Amino acid sequence: MDSPKVKRIAKIPEWLKELKLQKAGIGIYCRVSTSEQRQLRSLSNQITSLIKTVQGWDCLPYLKDVYVDIYTGTSENKRPEFNRMLDDVKAGRIKIVVVKSIQRFGRNTVTVMSAINDIRHAGGYVYFEVENLDTKTAANDNIITIIGGTSQEESYFKSKSIKFGIRESLKNPNSRLYNRCCYGYWSYDGKMIPKVLESEYVKDIFNYYKYGCSLYGIARKLEERGIPSPSGKKVWRTKTIENILKNEKYTGNVIVKSVIKNPQTGEERYFKALHHHEGIISQELFDEVQKIFVKRSNMELGPDGKMRRKNTHYSSKKRQFE
């Protein structure tokens, strides 16, 4: 004998009974912040749960569409499905929007209430499953505002938590933030290891510049030698050369600019990991090249604090050391 099947029975809200008689169209709206596997599972669970809710109301035939947004941040601009859902309500295609929770509907009170009002003016309603709230009941407005404010606060503290995590990671020299490879290195077991040929090319680039060759001249020399650029192209750009010459990673040290500014001064923070990996050039050669950069620069700081061109001109396009 087959095992009896268990059917989920949802209590039909009073406000829905009239709309059910009208065979009003229903739409489901779901949102997650990223496309990571864990978030995608959450999205699948949201959709399944809400479909079961509609099915429990015995309204599955009236389910017209499922709207899904995957976006990051507190901005509401990257929600095409949210906007499509609003358009469908205004067009009369759907009248009831079912959402898992207010937090999934919007990250701040203004967005939540604005969308609710737009839907209400179009003759539609929103139902939030977790909070068991519906916008057809006017008394719920105050509760929605409170919960919407809570969602905004949660988003704020989540942002602070992420920043704290980054700040703590920067204090750890073994953090992956320090292990991003650049030209001349490859990654093995989370560590930066010099590549045999490319590391020699890096040394040549620094020595070329030290002994008078311009950025343009270095690029031409590498091209003449048939050395491919970091992107694998035959042509080297002067900006690529400049980035290599200014990258302290080639000394074995790593400087990381934090995305978090000093709260007291507003200044950008920098974190430095000394002797992080095997260097390709010496610290002395790197420092000497930086001094040459300043000397060759065609800009200087004036007495008034503004940058202006020097009287003497150094062109990075002039061919030297040839």
* Arithmetic mean of pLDDT, 238-250: 93
Query: 242 vs 88, 102, 193, 200, 245, CA distance in Å?
Result: 53, 50, 22, 17, 5
Q: Comparing 150-154, 229-233, 274-278, which segment has the lowest mean pLDDT?
A: 150-154
Return the closest-CA partner of residue 147 out of 128, 162, 172: 128
Q: By 3-state DSSP, what share of the chain in percent is helix, strand and coil, each rounded to 5?
A: 45, 15, 40
Q: What is the pTM of this model?
A: 0.45
Topology annotation, domain 176-309: Hect, E3 ligase catalytic domain fold (3.90.1750)
> Active site includes 33?
yes
Tokens of 279: 């260097």
Task: Write down the domain spans for the chain.
Answer: 14-162, 176-309
Q: Which of 110-119, 122-131, 151-160, 233-242: highest mean pLDDT?
A: 233-242
Whether the predicted pLDDT of 101 surpasses 70: yes
- Evaluate whether 14-162 and 176-309 have a shared fold: no
pLDDT computed for residue 214 by the predictor:
93
Give the three-state DSSP class for 117: helix
Alpha-carbon span 277 to 107, nearest angstrom:
42
Summarised one tens digit per residue, pLDDT across range 172-229 is 555 555 567 889 999 887 788 999 999 999 999 999 999 999 999 999 999 999 999 9
Those residues whose C-beta lies under 8 Å from the C-beta of residue 208, and which sit 6 or more positions away, are: 217, 218, 221, 321
- CATH number for the region 14-162 comes to 3.40.50.1390
Q: Which position among 33, 114, 155, 258 bears the catalytic label?
A: 33
